[in-house]
Structures are given as C-alpha cells and as structure tokens.
Amino acid sequence: MKIRDFEVTPLTNRGLLLQVHTDEGITGIGAPMNYEHGRTVERAIFDMSEYLIGRDPLQIEDHWQTLYRSSYSRQMPILVAALSGIEMACLDILGKSVGLPLWKLLGGSVRERIRVYGAAGGQSPTEVAASAREKVAAGFTAIKAGPFPRAVRHIEPPAGIDAVLDRVSAIREAVGPEVDIALDFHRATSPAFAKILLRELEPLRPLFVEEPTRSTDNIGPLLELARATSIPIATGERCTTRWGFREICERKAAAILQPDIRHCGGVLEMKKIAALAEIHEISIAPHNAADPLGVVASIHAMAGTSNFLIMEYGGGGGEGFFTEPLQIQDGFVALPQGPGLGVAIDPEGLAAFTHQGEWRQRSMRRHPEDGSFADI
C-alpha cells in the first residue's frame, strides 16, 4: 500500500480535517491543530506530503522521526501540528487495513470507558451556574469554567478576588459536591495574583487549576505555585512532543499534564508523554478545545494509559459531523469499536462544517481602563 495524495479541509471550528488517500482505496483521517494559522499548517502538511507520497503509510514511526528530525526547528508548533495530523491519519489507515480499532493495536485497554468534562460559560455568576447545570443535565459529572469574566490585572483589588469567588461558588452551589469543577486561568494571571487566588479557592476544592501562569515560557513561577497550593496544577496544552514536557515532569511543576493530540505530536507521541509523566507520578488530562476528531483520537490514546485522569470534550461528540456521534453516559464515553479511529465523516456534515473565506487572527483582549493588552 502506498500514499496517493493528501486533502485538507478548513473547518468552522478553527480546525482542519486531513484526509490521506492510498492506492488501495483506504483513506485515513486526522485533525492537525489550526486555530488562527490554518493556511500555515496546511502549507506545512503539503510540504511534508512531498516526502510521503508514494511511501508506505504503515511505516508510521519512521515517517514521524524522519519528518521531525529533518526539520531545522523541530518543536515549532506549526510543524508538529502538521505532523500530528499526518500521524493520526496513518494510524487510522493502519486500523482500517487490519479491521481493528486503534486502541487495540496500541496494546488494548485498561478501562472500559473514558471520563470526559464539558465547558461551562457565561458572563455573570448566574449565567455560568446555569450553564454548569445544563452540562450536568447533559450527562457530565465534571465541568470546566473560566473564573474571569473580563481581563485580569497583574494584581486585582479585593473586589476582583471576590468576583472570582462569587463565580466559582455559584458553580459549586449549582452542581453540588458530587460534580468535579476544574478552573482554567488560561495564563491570564501573574504568578503573584495566581498565588492569592489559589489560596482563596482551596475551600471550594477544584479538581484542578489549568495554566495559572505562562508555564511554557517560564517553568520557575509554575513550580512555585505548585508548591504553594494543595490544588492540583494542570498545564501543557501548548507544549509539543515529550521534550516540551520534560522539564515540567522532572521538576514536578504540575500534577497534571494536558497534551493536545492535534499538536503534541499525535497519538503515539501522546502515549510517550504519558509514559514520561507516569515515571514522575503525574496524571494525564488531554486538552481538546474544539475538535471532535481530536477527542476521538485522544480516547484511543488514553484507553490503555494507566495514569489517565479525565479529558476535555471540546467540540462535542461530532454531532452533524460524524455519521455516528459519540454518546455521553454518566460522564463517560465508550471506547470506539470500529476499525481505525472508529468514526466516519458525514459528507453532508463536512460541507456544512467547511470554513468559507479567509482565516482571521484572534483579537487581543485589552483592559478598558487604559487600553493595555491582557494575556489570554
């Protein structure tokens, strides 16, 4: 079997659908990370395709190492995003060629289903509490929310701290003690202010706090925060490959790693990151902000991962996109049973989800008082 050609479709969820076609009629699908740089990731995919067309799609590890090591900037997110999608599609081809779901080819499972969490949103405490109740009613037993309804100053006054506590307390009151609540700081806080908030939030018992500071730029402040709080610290959605996670693990700067399968290097690389984390007694909670195919691929990677905690259900279960969407039951999703990734793209759904027009850069959040920028 040989790779014949590549097809990339931009999606309305700021994602990309990659289809790798073979000369035997098997097509593999993958989800390379995009966000606002879709055209750049697409160009990187077609650059890599010049090497891959005409080669065996099942030589996955060799292709990954060749494309990664031949790059001058090995950990450049754009390139690793392209590589992640290609690897995912080739693994889908592998599963389809032998008629087995990918998780079985990765060594089988250590669990029967995968726990997922949903996202709650809203500007006011009342709105975010209502959103949280809706997620629980939809079957989730864990939710994640942002605690900041607006841009955050380096150090907020007491009213700013109270606003965060009111917001999180409203969620806790809405869902009760049986539901886990994770909080995404989204790198918006300075280490000094994050330390204040973590102390104040401890009585509300969050499942974890995600990205309390700019961890990928500077491990030191993240390590200081991890040592200053009893709340588990999570990070890693912006890290690429196991080398991007090495220092976090070795210094134990987080209790939970959040690799995103669409740009950490793919399914096999996520497994390697999880193995690295396991050595250091660190859990894995994959990041998946907006892509149901990324969710599916992560399910396969986590099925046999012993230190898996929970994963993000971003983009939903593929309603209107997959021919058979994923289903949530009691906060869990079943392992796919079909060959490869175990899902098929609905042609009409793909047409509806195809992005039309130009990609746009996300706007910077700014402080209304003086117009200065705020991290997001």
Question: Catalytic residue among 287, 300, 355, 367, which?
Answer: 287
pLDDT of res. 37: 84
Q: How far does CA 322 lie from the centroid of its chain? A: 19
Residue whose structure tokens are 């999570």: 234
For residues 5 and 267, give the distance between their C-alpha atoms in angstroms, rounded to a whole number: 21
Confirm whether 287 is a catalytic residue.
yes
pLDDT of res. 374: 81
| 3 state DSSP class of 105 | helix
Tokens of 125: 């405490």
**Residue type (1 letter), 340:** G
pLDDT of res. 364: 73
- What Å distances lie between residue 82 and 77, 333, 349, 356, CA to CA? 9, 27, 23, 21
For residues 300 and 88, give the distance between their C-alpha atoms in angstroms, rounded to a whole number: 11
Q: How many CA atoms lie within 13 A of 337 on its CB side?
A: 4
pLDDT of res. 194: 96
Per CATH, the number for 3-101 is 3.30.390.10
Q: How many CA atoms lie within 13 A of 287 on its CB side?
A: 21
Residue whose structure tokens are 């392209």: 82
Q: Which contiguous run of DSSP H or E holds residue 61?
A: helix 60-69
DSSP character string of 195-222: HHHHHHHGGG--S-EE-SS-TTT-HHHH
Q: What is the largest CA-CA distance in the chain?
A: 65
Question: Catalytic residue among 37, 186, 280, 355, which?
Answer: 186
Q: How many CA atoms lie within 13 A of 257 on its CB side?
A: 36
pLDDT of res. 149: 84
Tokens of 242: 């196991």
Sequence ranges of the chain with CATH classification 3.20.20.120: 104-341
Q: For domain 104-341, which architecture applies?
A: Alpha-Beta Barrel (3.20)
pLDDT of res. 214: 76
Tokens of 22: 């073979």
Confirm whether 21 is a catalytic residue.
no
- What Å distances lie between residue 312 and 200, 209, 225, 291, 315, CA to CA? 25, 14, 23, 10, 9
| Blockwise average pLDDT, block size 10, the chain, 376 residues | 97 92 98 85 96 98 96 86 98 98 98 97 95 97 94 91 97 97 94 96 98 82 95 96 96 97 97 98 94 97 98 93 96 98 96 83 77 78
pLDDT of res. 47: 96
β-strand pairing of 113-120 with 332-334: antiparallel
